[in-house]
Amino acid sequence: MSRKVVVTGIGLVTPLGHDVETIWRRMLNGESGVGRITIFDASNYATQIAAEVKDWDVDDIGENPADWKNQDRHTKFAVGAGYKAMKDSGLLDEGAQSLDPERFGVYTGAGEGEQSFSDFAEMMVAALDENGNLDEGKFIQKGMEILNPVRELEQEPNMPAAHLAAMFNAKGPNVNCLTACAASAQAIGEAAEIIKRNEADVMIAGGAHSMIHPFGVTGFNLLTALSVSNDEPEKASKPFDKNRDGFIIGEGAGMLILEELEHAKARGAKIYGEIAGYGATSDAYRITDTHPEGRGAISCMKLALEDANVKPEEVDYINAHGTSTGVNDRVESLSIREVFGKYAYQIPVSSTKSMTGHLIAAAGATECIYCLLAIRDNIVPPTINFETRDPDCDLDYVPNVARKVKVDVALSNSFGFGGQDVSLVVRRFVA
């Protein structure tokens, strides 16, 4: 008999807040988390806006901030969301009575930590001679003087998974994948597969990322991928709108407690839904461009539906990747039409990135959680800032206002730079 995987706990740290219910309420109200960049001085950058996490630190979960001085934002976000998910699941209260540490693992899709622009600049200044030539020896020497080895280690993408395992005594599989914008969705899919293979009973799965720093913003500006609508930050993220001009970079974390069904039932856990289907493919095209005919997106959606044994007409809601870039939104729309045929026009499709910005590696996990909440409450969040229809984007994008609709099955799409494509199917659990 196949082992089913259900979600028994969820935790979020996002630009819309630090707890699930606040974030969900603000999302259903169509509120934006986008504003001027405050983490660093962005006044001379082409893009001066982002979706930042505000007023949060590890002391919010009872940790001593002094113990976390070397940890990066992505790890702090992961720890916060992971703690909230564990508490929500009831596993913190039950402790060792219901958890075998050897059967409890962590799978994250987390990005790298903040790269210190000021340290790099100081090293470059020290290494340049009067003619502007670089002395690599002096560059390295200055780095040895000013860099904190622990701080540098904590920037590694696997640090969130390592800290979560140590905090909760998770001695089972411990993995991090970094497949760009598909990372945390892939982490959920792969964590579910570990449980299905009987290699674990419980997994913390999700992702965390923060790229709101000079290197991150500069890199995406060089790709001309970011919006430069600096005068109206709240209106800058406009997925599927004809006048979209790029995505808004965001930050945060989303963590889910995945649990084998019988294990969850034995301890009387509440169940948000089932991770029913997982599809992962590659465009095998270009590292910065989605395949123009959506071949990777189409195949991963089909694989996820097949894995879930769900027919296209049984899907009640799609949380789109919906970045607010010209190419992504057009290609995702045509891919949905290809997979769902005429039924595509009857499915509510919304992009929550219109409110949170794009959380990069953390996007897929947070959006999977929004699908579970849509199932719980039978309401789908809107795509805000949708004002002018694009002829190439002709689906029902739930414009500007949340909608009450029965949701039993939801599909979440995550498509990453490099051509990595992941789709997840989540389904209402019926005992």
DSSP 8-class letter at 410: E
Considering the candidates 74, 163, 177, 181, report the single residue annotated as catalytic: 181
- The closest of 250, 68, 23 to 160, measured between CA atoms, is 68
Structure tokens at 58: 């590890």
Q: What are phi and psi of 188, to 5 degrees?
A: -65, -45
Distance CA 324, CA 250 (A): 13
Within 10 Å of residue 314's Cβ, how many Cβ atoms? 14
In single-letter form, the type of residue at position 223 comes to: L
With vertex at residue 173, the alpha carbon angle to CA 168 and CA 179, rounded to the nearest 5 degrees, is 105
Considering the candidates 74, 209, 291, 321, report the single residue annotated as catalytic: 321
Categorise residue 378: left if φ over 0, alpha if ψ from -120 to 50, beta otherwise.
Answer: left
Distance CA 173, CA 177 (A): 13
Question: What is the Cα Rg of the chain in Å?
Answer: 21
CA atoms within 13 A on the CB side of 275: 34
Tokens 């901030």 belong to which residue?
Answer: 65
Structure tokens at 225: 């991928």
Within 10 Å of residue 174's Cβ, how many Cβ atoms? 18
The pairing of strands 251-260 and 174-176 is unpaired
Distance CA 343, CA 396 (A): 11
Considering the candidates 213, 358, 368, 393, report the single residue annotated as catalytic: 358
Tell me, yes or no, if 358 is annotated catalytic.
Answer: yes
Distance CA 25, CA 54 (A): 17
**Residues with Cβ within 8 Å of residue 129, at least 6 apart in sequence:** 135
In single-letter form, the type of residue at position 211 comes to: M
In single-letter form, the type of residue at position 291 comes to: H
Q: How far is CA 345 from the centre of its chain?
A: 26
Distance CA 257, CA 12 (A): 12
Q: What are phi and psi of 247, to 5 degrees?
A: -90, 165
Tell me, yes or no, if 163 is annotated catalytic.
Answer: no
Tell me, yes or no, if 213 is annotated catalytic.
Answer: no
Which residues are catalytically annotated?
Answer: 181, 321, 358
